[in-house]
A = this chain, B = another copy of it.
Amino acid sequence: MLLAENTHQKSLTPEAISVIKSLKVFFVENIKTTRRFISSLKEGIVIDELQFFEINQDTGFEEVYNFLQETEGDFGVISEAGCAGVADPGALVVEVAHQLGIKVNPLVGPNSILLALMASGFNGQSFVFHGYLPIKEEERAKKLRKIEKEATQKKQTQIFMETPYRNHQLLTTIYNNLNPATRLCVACDITSDSEFIKTQSVGTWKKKGLPDIQKRPTIFLIY
């Protein structure tokens, strides 16, 4: 099986394209957008000959297990954005594949967490991705202070995110709770034309006012 992502062609490697061309069965998050993505490759793939299995957060282990036991030949997992299997439902398919002894072949593709880490200038030898922070203000502030302490004590880059329409609230919580000397990287709209990535101290961010990142997918990193 292979793991790839539905992305801009400029971010696809020749290897990913050739593997997609060779497969007939795909696990996908969204059939409609995946069909459109495969068409956009203009590689002469006949979409109607392909078989799609839509996976979401409710897809169960057994469902995938039974399907895969009956599937002959190789298959792919294509995620909507970011890497298949990282912070998306593809991980379940990979888990089942390992249980069935199926070889798993990850393909190079864009991942905003890793691209943000590369572009932050922070420690890449030791880092943690927390996913989403708690929504409630008090818990969130507590978690942020804990994360800041760990960044300092363990010299470990701390990475987290927020639902885009709450980005400004998260920034406000950061400004009100973290040490002005702590460095914060805001990595917004990664790989798109409006990409914006900046690292500076919390104090400097605060002084310059909120950057306009509301409703834009953003990765936050502190160190």
Please report A residues at the B interface, Cβ cutoff 8 Å. Answer: 3, 9-15, 83-88, 90-98, 103-106, 108-111, 113-131, 156, 185, 190-191, 195, 197-200
In whole Å, how far is A220's beta carbon from the nearest beta carbon of chain B?
Answer: 15
**Bound: A127/B123 CA distance, A:** 15
**Bound: A114/B84 CA distance, A:** 10
Please provide the 7 A-B residue pairs with the shortest distance between their CB atoms, ordered closest to farther. Answer: A86-B124, A94-B121, A95-B121, A128-B128, A10-B15, A98-B199, A106-B119
Complex interface: chain B residues within 8 A of A104 (CB): 119, 121, 197
In whole Å, how far is A112's beta carbon from the nearest beta carbon of chain B?
Answer: 9
Q: A85–B14 contact, CB under 8 A?
A: no
**Bound: A185/B106 CA distance, A:** 14
Query: Residue on B with the closest CB to A160?
Result: B126
In whole Å, how far is A126's beta carbon from the nearest beta carbon of chain B?
Answer: 5
**Bound: A80/B86 CA distance, A:** 25
Complex interface: chain B residues within 8 A of A109 (CB): 108
Q: A84–B118 contact, CB under 8 A?
A: yes
Query: Which residue of B93, B120, B129, B200 contacts A127 across the interface (Cβ within 8 Å)?
Result: B129
Complex interface: chain B residues within 8 A of A9 (CB): 14
Query: Which residue of B12, B85, B97 contacts A117 across the interface (Cβ within 8 Å)?
Result: B85
Q: A11-B108, A12-B13 are in contact. Are A125 and B131 (CB under 8 A)?
A: yes
